[in-house]
Amino acid sequence: MNVKLHLGIDDTDSMKGGCTTYIAALLVYEYSKLGVSWMDYPNLVRLNPNIPWKTRGNGAVSLRFEVDKSMIDDVVDVALKVIEKESMIDDENVDPVLAVYRGCITDELRRFAYLAETEVVDVEYALKLADSLGVARWVFRNPRGLVGALAAIGEDLRGDYTYELIAYRTFSMRGKPRMIDPGSVIAMDEATRGETYANIDPETGRILVTPRGMDPVLYGIRGETPEAVYRAHRFIKSYEEVERWVIFRSNQCTDAHLKSKRTISSLKPYVAAVLEGVVSDRPRIIPGGHVIFKLSDGTGTIDCAVYEPTGRLRVIASKLVDGDRVRVYGGVKPFDKGLTFNIEKIEVLEARAITRIMNPLCPYCGRRMKSAGLGKGFRCGRCGFRDRGSAKIEIYMDRDLKPGLYLPPPRAFRHLTKPIERYGREKTGGVVWFYPWHEP
Ligand code: ATP
């Protein structure tokens, strides 16, 4: 008899190496050999990016397939062997967890995933939920990884989603510079524009598909469809061997963490939030080039920070004035006994009109007139025209800031940031298979 299995894996890597997606890629190969019936591409689920104890991008993975009941033990054995071999288990901050759930995803699991994408989740809560749903788990050290493993199971991507094709390097190349032809990335970017995202940073020309750490990822291409990421992958010229590649379905590039509108008084450290309010003092630039301004929403006031690496977003923030109405997207960080809101996106809802009181212009020569003395009107310094009846006028200043949504450049994106090209392209719906989706 076939059963539906969902495997969730998290917390296998450290800054010294490893990658939970690589473990998933190895398991895709092993389970395909076992003859499982895949229900989905492997899912790469990004969780709350504001969690301070994440290694890099707070990613967890899940694998979903049907298999004969008699094979469950084999499935678990294979996963445990791969996790034991590939996890950076010697690092004491690495707490790998494998969670295995049988059946259909429940709304409770989906709610749990949503919490893990937007807030800080208590491990106790994860343990309780796992118990109540009969989720089996294998904890290698500390159960903290269960939060990510369970969230990866619960996020079945019924809402918006994208794809990422990740190509991995061979063991002997780990830690060495990645040998990819930059020209082939530029060609790929041009050929797949609108279908793949954030391949190159347009301002700096920096190639973004290759990570820079010790992990086994050679490159990752994000896009709208599996066809698009596969086509893009075929463009890339690599001077080192690609050991394997897999297409993941993912919540990356969907703003999954930025769905909760909150009030300032309700904010807690490390939550992701959308705030709406009024700028309550002029932005100031602090050492390092970061822009700070205060936002008030009637329930409270918070310092908003736009950091220097966010490039043009920082320029937009510096043009705000008190009284502007904005919607800001980002995460809460504790700072100096209070809280700061770190901005990822700004939506200017209303740029307040700024006026200045000035002397009137001369109707004959267009020059700004001078006061002729108290109660004596104005006089033109160029043509001598005098107007006793004229008064100062109110001039509207050019704000150089239009209402609209502003994002940082791609080099400053978080994994979850929805690029501007994806607005209006959000999709829902079941899995559509594309072949090949992994190799080997
Ligand atoms: P990588 O992206 O390279 O895979 P990472 O950044 O995902 O690494 P992990 O090593 O997985 O980092 O560590 C993140 C840890 O935080 C995991 O133990 C995970 O269970 C936990 N975690 C993730 N999201 C939350 C959350 N919202 N609340 C509490 N704990 C969380």
Average pLDDT over the chain, rounded to an integer: 94
What does the pLDDT average to over 321-334? 97
Residue 258 lies in a domain: no
**Angstrom distance (rounded) from CA 69 to CA 89:** 30
Kindly tell me if the per-residue pLDDT of 54 is higher than 90.
Answer: no
The pick from 20, 54, 260 for probing ligand 1's pocket by mutation, whose C-beta has the most ligand atoms within 8 angstroms, reads: 54
429/162: higher pLDDT: 162
Kindly tell me if the per-residue pLDDT of 68 is higher than 80.
Answer: yes
Residue 201 lies in a domain: yes
- Residue 46 contacts residue 256 (beta carbons within 8 Å): yes
pLDDT at 125: 97
Query: Do both 65 and 98 map to the same domain?
Result: yes
pLDDT in tens, 165-174: 999 999 999 9
Atom of ligand 1 nearest to the CA of 120: 28
pLDDT in tens, 263-284: 999 999 999 999 999 999 989 9
What does the pLDDT average to over 245-263? 97
Residue 142 lies in a domain: yes
Q: Measured in angstroms, how far is the CA atom of residue 27 from the centroid of ligand 1?
A: 20
Kindly tell me if the per-residue pLDDT of 142 is higher than 90.
Answer: no
Kindly tell me if the per-residue pLDDT of 89 is higher than 80.
Answer: no
Query: Do both 291 and 182 map to the same domain?
Result: no
Residue 429 lies in a domain: no
**Angstrom distance (rounded) from CA 21 to CA 326:** 37
**Angstrom distance (rounded) from CA 219 to CA 173:** 13
- Residue 65 contacts residue 114 (beta carbons within 8 Å): no
Which residue is associated with the tokens 């796992």?
Answer: 130
Residue 30 lies in a domain: yes
Q: Measured in angstroms, how far is the CA atom of residue 61 from the centroid of ligand 1?
A: 11
CA-wise closest residue to 19 among 166, 209, 235? 166
Query: Do both 207 and 293 map to the same domain?
Result: no
Q: Measured in angstroms, how far is the CA atom of residue 120 from the centroid of ligand 1?
A: 10
Query: Do both 306 and 407 map to the same domain?
Result: yes
Residue 433 lies in a domain: no
Atom of ligand 1 nearest to the CA of 48: 27
Residues in the chain: 440
Q: At what angle do helices 182-191 and 226-235 cross, to 10 degrees?
A: 150
Query: Do both 175 and 58 map to the same domain?
Result: no
Query: Do both 31 and 102 map to the same domain?
Result: yes
Query: Do both 115 and 234 map to the same domain?
Result: no
pLDDT at 13: 79
- Residue 143 burial (CB count, 10 A): 18
pLDDT at 86: 85
pTM metric for this prediction: 0.92
Ligand 1 site, residue 274, Cβ cutoff 6 A: no
Ligand 1 site, residue 116, Cβ cutoff 6 A: yes
Give 139-144's long-range contacts (Cβ < 8 A, gap of 24+). 139/95, 139/97, 140/83, 140/84, 140/87, 140/89, 140/95, 140/96, 140/97, 141/89, 141/92, 141/94, 141/95, 141/96, 142/95, 143/95, 143/97, 144/11, 144/53, 144/95, 144/97
Ligand 1 site, residue 328, Cβ cutoff 6 A: no
Query: Do both 232 and 276 map to the same domain?
Result: no
What does the pLDDT average to over 47-72? 93
CA-wise closest residue to 154 among 25, 62, 72? 62
pLDDT at 42: 98
Q: Measured in angstroms, how far is the CA atom of residue 94 from the centroid of ligand 1?
A: 10
Kindly tell me if the per-residue pLDDT of 311 is higher than 90.
Answer: no
Instruction: Establish how many alpha carbons lie within 13 A of residue 225's alpha carbon, considering only the half-sphere containing its beta carbon.
Output: 12
Residue 434 lies in a domain: no
Q: Measured in angstroms, how far is the CA atom of residue 318 from the centroid of ligand 1?
A: 33
What CATH number does residue 293 fall under?
2.40.50.1010
**Pick from 183, 217, 250: which residue ends a domain?**
250
Residue 431 lies in a domain: no
Which of 289-302 are b and which e, b meaning 16 or more Cβ less than 10 Å from the residue's Cβ? ebbbbbbbbeeeeb
Ligand 1 site, residue 10, Cβ cutoff 6 A: yes
Q: At what angle do helices 145-154 and 123-132 cross, to 10 degrees?
A: 50
**Pick from 250, 279, 304: which residue ends a domain?**
250
**Angstrom distance (rounded) from CA 408 to CA 283:** 18
Residue 24 backbone phi and psi in degrees, to 5: -60, -40
Which amino acid is located at 334 in the chain?
P
**What is the domain range of residue 200?**
162-250
Number of helices (H), then strands (E), belonging to the chain: the values are 8, 23
The pick from 19, 92, 139, 147 for probing ligand 1's pocket by mutation, whose C-beta has the most ligand atoms within 8 angstroms, reads: 147
What does the pLDDT average to over 324-328? 98
**Angstrom distance (rounded) from CA 279 to CA 296:** 6
Ligand 1 site, residue 121, Cβ cutoff 6 A: yes
CA-wise closest residue to 76 among 56, 102, 37? 102
**In the numeric block, which tokens belong to residue 423?**
């607005």
Query: Do both 280 and 312 map to the same domain?
Result: yes
Q: Measured in angstroms, how far is the CA atom of residue 36 from the centroid of ligand 1?
A: 28
What Å distances lie between residue 257 and 43, 91, 179, 288, CA to CA? 16, 29, 33, 27
Query: Do both 74 and 190 map to the same domain?
Result: no
Query: Do both 148 and 177 map to the same domain?
Result: no
pLDDT in tens, 10-41: 988 777 767 899 999 999 999 999 999 999 99
Ligand 1 site, residue 8, Cβ cutoff 6 A: no
CA-wise closest residue to 250 among 11, 417, 30? 417
pLDDT at 437: 98
**In the numeric block, which tokens belong to residue 10?**
């998290």
Percent of the chain predicted with pLDDT > 90: 82
Atom of ligand 1 nearest to the CA of 56: 6
pLDDT at 182: 96
Number of domains in the chain: 4
What CATH number does residue 244 fall under?
3.90.600.20
Kindly tell me if the per-residue pLDDT of 415 is higher than 90.
Answer: yes
Q: Measured in angstroms, how far is the CA atom of residue 85 from the centroid of ligand 1?
A: 20
Burial of 192 (0-12, 13-18, 19+ CB in 10 A): buried
Query: Do both 390 and 406 map to the same domain?
Result: no
Q: Measured in angstroms, how far is the CA atom of residue 52 from the centroid of ligand 1?
A: 9
Ligand 1 site, residue 346, Cβ cutoff 6 A: no
Burial of 199 (0-12, 13-18, 19+ CB in 10 A): buried
What does the pLDDT average to over 160-169? 97
Ligand 1 site, residue 224, Cβ cutoff 6 A: no
Ligand 1 site, residue 154, Cβ cutoff 6 A: no
Q: Measured in angstroms, how far is the CA atom of residue 12 from the centroid of ligand 1?
A: 10
Which protein residue has the closest C-alpha to ligand 1 atom 13? 54
What CATH number does residue 129 fall under?
3.30.70.2200
